[in-house]
Amino acid sequence: MQRQAIAWRKAGRRVVLVPTMGALHDGHRRLINMARKKVKTNGIVVVSIYVNPKQFNDPKDLKDYPRTLSADKKLCREESVDMVFAPNTLYEKDVSAGVKEDDLTTRLEGLHRPGHFAGVMTVVAKLFNLVLPDFSVFGEKDFQQVTVIKRMVRDLDYPISILVGPTVREADGLAMSSRNVLLTGDLRDQATVLSRAIELSRQSLGSRAVDIKRKLKRFIEKQPDAQVDYIEFVDTINLNPLKTVKKGSRILLAAKIGPVRLIDNGLL
């Protein structure tokens, strides 16, 4: 991969990377379309597909994570992706160096998934060095991840612009996620409560966050198999929690729907 990347660089081609863990859906398709639009037909769109073990804190989540490589490759062909980079592994046996962050990653997902963001940052740093892109596209659905990656790019001076693609939703509001296929039976219906909670929060501008969080938690947990991990209203830049639900802030939430842990977020 790196040799190819160096050849593109020498040829003056602009390269955009879309890092994924596969099980591609229309949310990914949207990111790939953004990537293509950015570099036009003369540029190179690379989609990486790698279920990165280092970012899973829960071995069962890693085991159950959907893997659909041939369908993924088909989607990439449909979208005229120039290269699918799907390595078997990216780590040496005695790997010991990586990227860490000690502010943004200490909260929210970072609290509930120890080691997750160090794993994400490390694999993204590696992909940046292997693919040498000018741009890289991430999905807004993983809002904290986007914030953390932007911080890494800033603090390590990567010469890469980060583009953010919007969350794509099913007709009933459920945010597209590779893990949605694990929502069996009526869990799929119950899962719509997350986007409905976000809608509900939009009626609460000016209220105390602590009150709305309590209310939304009750609302979500009315579903028989739903259990909230966190609900937080945050500043969009530094992810600091806000005391008041304000226009321009963002609601981030995580909940388990049966055995499936989902996250979602929305701008207020």
Pick 239 or 262: Cβ nearer a copy of itself: 239
State the minimum distance, in angstroms, from the CB of residue 26 to a copy of itself. 31
Q: Is 116 a catalytic residue?
A: no
What does the block give as tokens for 244? 């008041």
Pick 45 or 149: Cβ nearer a copy of itself: 149
Tokens 């509900």 sit on residue = 200
State the minimum distance, in angstroms, from the CB of residue 11 to a copy of itself. 10
Give dist(CA 50, CA 183) in Å, integer: 22
Give burial (CB, 10 Å; 0-12/13-18/19+) of 105: buried
Please report, as ranges, the residues that interact with a copy of itself according to CB under 8 A: 2, 5-6, 9-10, 12, 90-92, 94-104, 121-122, 125-126, 129-130, 132, 148, 151-152, 154-159, 238
Give dist(CA 195, CA 182) in Å, integer: 18
Give dist(CA 142, CA 108) in Å, integer: 12
Ramachandran region, residue 246 (left: φ > 0; alpha: ψ -120 to 50; beta: rest): beta
Pick 2 or 80: Cβ nearer a copy of itself: 2
State the minimum distance, in angstroms, from the CB of residue 19 to a copy of itself. 14
- List 25, 28, 112, 116, catalytic entry: 28
State the minimum distance, in angstroms, from the CB of residue 100 to a copy of itself. 5
Pick 157 or 222: Cβ nearer a copy of itself: 157
What does the block give as tokens for 207? 């209220």
Question: Which are the catalytic amino acids?
Answer: 28
